[in-house]
């Protein structure tokens, strides 16, 4: 098996069998830089998207199918940010944010989710096409940060005691982001048979305290290997296992042929209205900012 380096742009599975705890730890640096490079977001938005991409990596790497897709989508009203979308497919991440720069001014350096999104919800969609499983959960965008929102979603809606920590920091020109997700799964993680999960199980507070002691600097430090960090947190446990590591990359699935086929389906008069001053129909990919242009003539058959 090829070895995957465990310092950055990677998600690593973690298990503490004696405590029935499992989870993921992830760090993203170059991937975040390259996704952000396609946009010119203010620092607040960059930090938010860096954390959202880290959460996407943590949740996406839980998917069992290589073809599985995980999507995070924030839908909001009245805040500086009105749309945020991130997704994960086979270790590839992408994401973008739509925001109102004027409304962002005057926010504190670490705004709450409510200050960023106004009234909003985060939809988390797990899609596993081979097993034909699609599951969507909705999280209110409340709390200090996305980690807190995801944690309360798992604990309250899913009845799975969970810990989620996310951190993102810009040093010089580069972003460093990392995250930890731990879950208490005494009934096993298969299926949805979690009715008997007890929130007061004595093993969980112990794991949550050790996991919760992780520092933001540790999550974002690209010189600290993820397995070393897990060992640092849980070395007192009888057994700590690291599972498969998934290499993370930046990926966009925008495809000129697909974009062309979508435009070609519009009625001719609507296509005419799309033609710009230069005589071309231009479509930009919101994720990677790629621009596609088509001659109106080549679209009508
Ligand atoms: Zn794209």
d(C-alpha 1, C-alpha 13), whole Å: 16
User: Ligand 1 centroid to 4 CA: how many Å?
Assistant: 26
Q: Mutual orientation of helices 226-234 and 203-212 as an angle, nearest 10°? A: 130
d(C-alpha 173, C-alpha 29), whole Å: 11
User: Ligand 1 centroid to 88 CA: how many Å?
Assistant: 13
User: Ligand 1 centroid to 251 CA: how many Å?
Assistant: 8
d(C-alpha 258, C-alpha 146), whole Å: 33
Q: Residue 267 has which token pair?
A: 């009625």
DSSP secondary structure code for residue 144 in this structure: S
User: Residue 235 pLDDT > 50, yes or no?
Assistant: yes
User: Ligand 1 centroid to 156 CA: how many Å?
Assistant: 35
Put residue 296 in one of left, alpha, beta given phi > 0 → left and psi -120 to 50 → alpha. alpha
Q: Give the per-residue pLDDT at 193.
A: 43
Q: Residue 125 has which token pair?
A: 């969609």
User: Ligand 1 centroid to 34 CA: how many Å?
Assistant: 12
d(C-alpha 286, C-alpha 298), whole Å: 24
Question: Which residues neighbour 150 within 8 Å (Cβ) at sequence distance 6 or greater?
Answer: 55, 59, 122, 124, 139, 162, 164, 181
Average pLDDT for the chain: 91
User: Ligand 1 centroid to 50 CA: how many Å?
Assistant: 18
User: Ligand 1 centroid to 41 CA: how many Å?
Assistant: 17
Q: What is the pTM of this model?
A: 0.91
Q: Residue 1 has which token pair?
A: 């098996």
Q: Give the per-residue pLDDT at 186.
A: 77
Region 16-28: mean pLDDT is: 95
Give the sheet arrangement for strand 92-99, strand by strand. 133-140, 118-128, 69-78, 81-89, 92-99, 249-250
User: Residue 68 pLDDT > 50, yes or no?
Assistant: yes
b vs e for 248-284, b when ≥16 Cβ sit within 10 Å of the residue's Cβ? bebbbebeeeebeeebeeeeeeebeeeeeeeeebebe
Q: Residue 13 has which token pair?
A: 């599975």
Per-residue pLDDT of 96-142, as tens digits, reads: 999 999 999 989 988 999 999 999 999 999 999 999 999 999 989 99
Residues near ion ligand 1 (Cβ under 5 Å)? 252, 254, 285, 287-288, 290
Give the angle 244-250-251 at the CA atoms, nearest 5°: 100
User: Ligand 1 centroid to 186 CA: how many Å?
Assistant: 40
User: Ligand 1 centroid to 252 CA: how many Å?
Assistant: 5
User: Residue 88 pLDDT > 90, yes or no?
Assistant: yes
CA distances from 293 to 74, 266, 274, 296 (A): 29, 16, 11, 9
d(C-alpha 80, C-alpha 35), whole Å: 21
User: Ligand 1 centroid to 81 CA: how many Å?
Assistant: 21
User: Ligand 1 centroid to 293 CA: how many Å?
Assistant: 14
User: Ligand 1 centroid to 108 CA: how many Å?
Assistant: 31
């Amino acid at each position: 098996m090829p070895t995957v380096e465990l310092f950055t742009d990677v998600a690593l599975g973690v298990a503490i069998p004696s405590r029935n705890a499992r989870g993921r730890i992830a760090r993203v640096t170059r991937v975040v830089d390259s996704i952000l490079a396609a946009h010119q977001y203010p620092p607040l938005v960059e930090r938010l998207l860096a954390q959202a991409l880290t959460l996407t990596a943590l949740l996406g790497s839980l998917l069992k199918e290589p073809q599985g897709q995980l999507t995070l989508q924030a839908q909001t009203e009245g805040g500086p940010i009105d749309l945020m979308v991130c997704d994960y497919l086979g270790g590839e991440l992408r994401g973008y944010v739509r925001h109102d720069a004027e409304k962002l001014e005057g926010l504190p350096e670490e705004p709450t989710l409510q200050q960023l999104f106004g009234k909003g919800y985060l939809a988390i969609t797990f899609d596993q096409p081979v097993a034909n499983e699609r599951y969507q959960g909705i999280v209110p965008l409340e709390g200090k940060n996305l980690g807190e929102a995801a944690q309360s979603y798992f604990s309250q809606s899913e009845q799975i005691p969970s810990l989620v920590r996310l951190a993102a920091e810009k040093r010089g020109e580069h972003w460093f982001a990392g995250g930890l997700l731990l879950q208490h799964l005494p009934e096993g993680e298969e299926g949805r048979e979690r009715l008997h999960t007890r929130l007061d199980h004595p093993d969980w507070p112990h794991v949550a305290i050790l996991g919760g002691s992780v520092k933001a600097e540790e999550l974002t430090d690209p010189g600290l290997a993820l397995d070393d960090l897990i060992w640092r947190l849980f070395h007192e446990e009888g057994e700590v296992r690291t599972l498969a590591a998934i290499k993370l990359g930046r990926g966009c699935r925008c495809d000129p042929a697909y974009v062309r086929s979508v435009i070609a389906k519009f009625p001719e008069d609507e296509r005419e209205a799309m033609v710009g001053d230069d005589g071309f129909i231009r479509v930009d990919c919101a994720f990677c900012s790629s621009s596609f242009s088509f001659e109106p003539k080549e679209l009508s058959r």
